[in-house]
Structure 1
Amino acid sequence: MHKHMFVNLPIRDMKKSQAFFRSVGYEFNPQFTNDQGACLVAGENLFVMLLVTNFFKTFTGKPVADAHTSTEVLVALSCDSRAHVDELVARARAAGGAVPRSPQDLGFMYSHGFEDLDGHVWELVYMEPGAVPPQA
């Protein structure tokens, strides 16, 4: 079906956002990064375009939600282990992100998350191989 995924998020401050996500451990593709937008590489063929709010507005006729006061999307990413989930959340907290919830442990799935500097929610999930409940 699809070969790539691009999630677009409005941000207030390009330099602070890039510094935050670099502190968490992400890199940016310089080919698609400038002062209006930055291409965060979340994984193979997984990208998050951080777009300065005024530039973001050029792609929609709707009002842009303030992620500090409302939630339109939860960005969910898989991780390689529970430790990887916890490490990314700790890095985000240390870089100034918020951690509004406790980790969720369902046995077969472990998740935790953070809010970035603009209030966007990032959910990090580890699925235990072989522990997924069978379909009914």
Structure 2
Amino acid sequence: MDDAHVTGDVKSLWKWIGGSAFLASMCCFPSVVLVLFGLASVSSAAALSNDLYWGTNGMGWFRPLLLSLSVALVTLGLVLYFRKDGICTLDEVKRQRKRIVNTSLLVFLLFAVTYVVFNFVILTEIGVALNLPWESSRLWN
């Protein structure tokens, strides 16, 4: 396997990891964007993020759905990554079991870290800077 092929595959995995972390953060991102561009007041954006994040007002299905879709996207990215690498049969999976398990664990760990950093550090700090009432959501409180 040449270096260009490996680099392209790793870039494709980062697209799946980053896209999935972004999707999982969609409970908070719309509020930040709405306030940032002046499309909503701070109080209405805070109410929207409370509804989407905590599941108030009948929105309890939203956050688990986003997290489930994100995990499904990361899984799909891994399947496509391994298929592109020639691992298409169960016999090949058995032969490359250690590589598949290690790569999958690393990808899911990177997804979780990316989600936490993006959602609970970057978005929270931008939200606090925009006067959204998210001080209690900071990781270091």
TM-score, normalised to structure 2's length? Answer: 0.24
Q: Which structure has more strand as a fraction of its residues?
A: 1
Structure with greater contact order relative to length (CA < 8 Å, sep ≥ 6): 2
Work out which of the two has the higher radius of gyration on C-alpha atoms and give 1 or 2: 2
